[in-house]
Amino acid sequence: MATIVNKYVIEQVSPMHNQNMNRLIDVLLEGDQARAVAEAMSLKNGGVEDERIIADAIEPAMGRLDAKCTLEQFNLLEIMLVGRAVTGVIRALYPDAPPAPSRETVVLASLEGDVHDLGKNIVRTIMTAKGYRIVDCGKNCPVENLVDAAVREEASIICISGLITSVIPSVREVVPLARRRGLTMVRVVAGGAALKQASADTLNVDYVADSVFDVIRYLEDHPGELS
């Protein structure tokens, strides 16, 4: 059963589903990669969609590390172990050699000043699996390098992943620079925990995606559209 709230469809999930997700969250938080992979695969084999595993377990698990990432209490080892478990789960969910790219070229980066790349790497894996050609410009990437890559690779989409609000002024520079460099048709999409709370107007981008699945639906609904 599903309830539609604005553009989102909120699944009404069973207590059993919640229990299984909570178990996956727990083993992710323990940094236990092998058990996290086993729990995730058991959910997948039981018919749970990847989108739910990512939104209901991976994102909340990382979110619970919030307190471990402040100046007062910074636990790098713990964060890295959870990150490794998350990476293992994503590899297990998307194991196949990626298909030959059949869709548009996307350049992707976290901008200069932002070293968070776990979410960006998930976006890369999933969009690659869906047939997009991804050019990953990495983390801490200057806006100029991102736009240079878009020109060089003839990209039609630029995806920016942002986890830290201080990069917002740089995000706002991407569209004007792309237009000045002749990329009149490129679509610029922002995502990631810090950016998805802002509007497309505030970020000066074409679309703000709630998730990687959201941007794929958006691109499928707006194929090659002018921004």
**What would the two tokens of residue 12 be?**
């009404």
Start-to-end CA distance of the chain, whole Å, equals 35
Pick the closer one to ligand B12 by CB: 79 or 129: 79
Q: Which of 8, 49, 74, 220 binds ligand B12 (CB under 6 A)?
A: 74
CB atoms within 10 A of CB 160: 28
Indicate whether 77 belongs to the interface with ligand B12 (CB under 6 A).
no
Indicate whether 194 belongs to the interface with ligand B12 (CB under 6 A).
yes
CB of 62 to ligand B12, least distance (A): 3
Element (H, E) at 59: helix 59-63
CA pair distance 63, 106, nearest whole angstrom:
27
CB of 176 to ligand B12, least distance (A): 19
Among residue numbers 204 through 223, which ones bind ligand B12 (CB under 6 A)? 209, 211-212, 215
Q: How many residues bind ligand B12 (CB under 6 A)?
A: 41
* Listed residue (126, 105, 115, 118) closest to 50, CA to CA: 126
Task: List Cα–Cα distances, 198 to 25, 29, 147, 162, 195, in angstroms.
Answer: 27, 28, 22, 11, 5
Among residue numbers 14 through 73, which ones bind ligand B12 (CB under 6 A)? 54, 58-59, 62-63, 65-66, 69-71
Q: Quick check: helix, strand or coil at residue 85?
A: helix
Q: Quick check: helix, strand or coil at residue 119?
A: helix
Given the structure tokens 């619970």, which residue do they identify?
A: 64
Q: Which of 57, 83, 125, 146 binds ligand B12 (CB under 6 A)?
A: 83
Pick the closer one to ligand B12 by CB: 20 or 83: 83
Indicate whether 226 belongs to the interface with ligand B12 (CB under 6 A).
no
Pick the closer one to ligand B12 by CB: 1 or 67: 67
Indicate whether 187 belongs to the interface with ligand B12 (CB under 6 A).
no
Contacts of 97 (CB under 8 A, 6+ apart): none
Interface residues toward ligand B12, by CB under 6 A: 54, 58-59, 62-63, 65-66, 69-71, 74, 76, 79, 83, 113-120, 122-123, 159-161, 163-165, 189-194, 196, 209, 211-212, 215
